[in-house]
């Protein structure tokens, strides 16, 4: 069974103008710049057509972030309405340095689901399923961050595929569907913990223990190995380095701003978050 989660969790495209508006407003809401109950100031801040703005608001409304009412206009909804497992919502939350309570919640959910999923994989995984898990593990080894190559993104991609492949290897249709829902959540959790110095390398033996147990068809051992892996992640949450993403609605690129940027080479680039 091939891991299809990555393609299905690509998020909303940002190539066109209304897609850029979706991402710009979404980041502001998740970062707390726009709070629940506050109006969304798109008319003032974005030199975009009404059609683009209207389409962007529809997308954000579908994610539970905003609502439009007569007389009051478009406002940010309360957090209870947000679709926290939406891939874009998770990505925007990650860009603004996910709060530790949120990461703890993700880890608690993982601790409930993943050990049982590993046990099912040990019982039911086909040869192709195990090959997908092995392939992801080898990619983790190859993408190990070093002092020379500090980028954790390739490692996180492989790590996420490892866990998604296990979720999909249990021969359970509902769990396979769930893997596509939690894929983005897994990536947020893994990206945060992988930034801790030495964390990625230290996690490899624990991942290998899970793989070996599944390959050996030992359900209990697989569940215990996965539980140890997730518990280790839970202990790392309190020492996760903070990352803060900045930017605002005016940073959405229009034809005019793109032309100005090309023609005015003396303008200093906008600072970006690290």
pLDDT value at residue 119: 98
pLDDT value at residue 64: 96
Mean pLDDT by 10 residues, the chain (274 residues): 42 73 91 92 64 89 95 92 86 70 84 95 98 98 79 90 94 83 74 79 95 98 97 78 44 45 46 44
Q: pLDDT, tens digit, for every residue of 4-26?
A: 434 344 566 666 788 888 999 99
pLDDT value at residue 193: 77
pLDDT value at residue 14: 61
Task: For 12-87+244-263, give the CATH class.
Answer: mainly alpha
Sequence spans of domains, the chain = 12-87+244-263, 98-239
pLDDT value at residue 105: 84
- The sign of the CA dihedral 222, 192, 23, 41 is positive
Beta carbons within 10 angstroms of residue 110's beta carbon? 23
Give pTM, 2 decimals: 0.69
Tokens standing for residue 193:
């913990």
pLDDT value at residue 1: 39
Q: Name the residue with tokens 């803060």.
A: 244
Q: In angstroms, what CA-CA distances link 27 with 42, 84, 97?
A: 14, 13, 11
CATH code that applies to domain 98-239: 1.20.120.530
Q: Are 8 and 182 in contact (CB under 8 A)?
A: no
User: Going along the chain, which residue ranges are E strands?
Assistant: 66-69, 73-76
């Amino acid at each position: 069974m091939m891991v299809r989660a990555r393609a299905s969790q690509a998020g909303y495209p940002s190539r066109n103008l209304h897609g850029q508006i979706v991402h710009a407003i979404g980041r502001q809401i998740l970062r707390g710049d726009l709070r629940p109950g506050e109006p969304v100031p798109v008319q003032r801040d974005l030199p975009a057509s009404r059609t683009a703005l209207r389409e962007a608001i529809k997308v954000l409304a579908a994610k539970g972030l905003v609502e439009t009412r007569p007389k009051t206009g478009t406002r940010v909804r309360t957090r209870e309405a947000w679709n926290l497992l939406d891939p874009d919502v998770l990505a925007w939350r990650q860009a603004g340095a996910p709060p530790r309570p949120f990461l703890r919640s993700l880890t608690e959910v993982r601790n409930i689901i993943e050990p049982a999923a590993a046990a099912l994989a040990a019982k039911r995984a086909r040869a192709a399923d195990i090959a997908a898990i092995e392939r992801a593990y080898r990619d983790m080894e190859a993408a190990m961050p070093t002092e020379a190559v500090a980028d954790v993104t390739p490692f996180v991609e492989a790590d996420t595929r490892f866990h998604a492949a296990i979720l999909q290897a249990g021969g359970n249709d509902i769990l396979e569907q769930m893997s596509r829902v939690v894929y983005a959540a897994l990536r947020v959790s893994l990206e945060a913990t992988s930034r801790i110095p030495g964390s990625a390398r230290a996690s490899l033996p624990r991942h290998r223990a899970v793989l070996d147990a599944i390959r050996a068809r030992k359900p209990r051992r697989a569940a215990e190995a996965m539980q140890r892996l997730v518990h280790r992640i839970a202990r790392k949450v309190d020492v996760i380095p903070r990352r803060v993403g900045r930017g605002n609605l005016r940073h959405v690129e229009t034809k005019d701003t793109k032309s100005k940027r090309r023609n005015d080479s003396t303008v200093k680039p906008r600072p970006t978050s690290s």
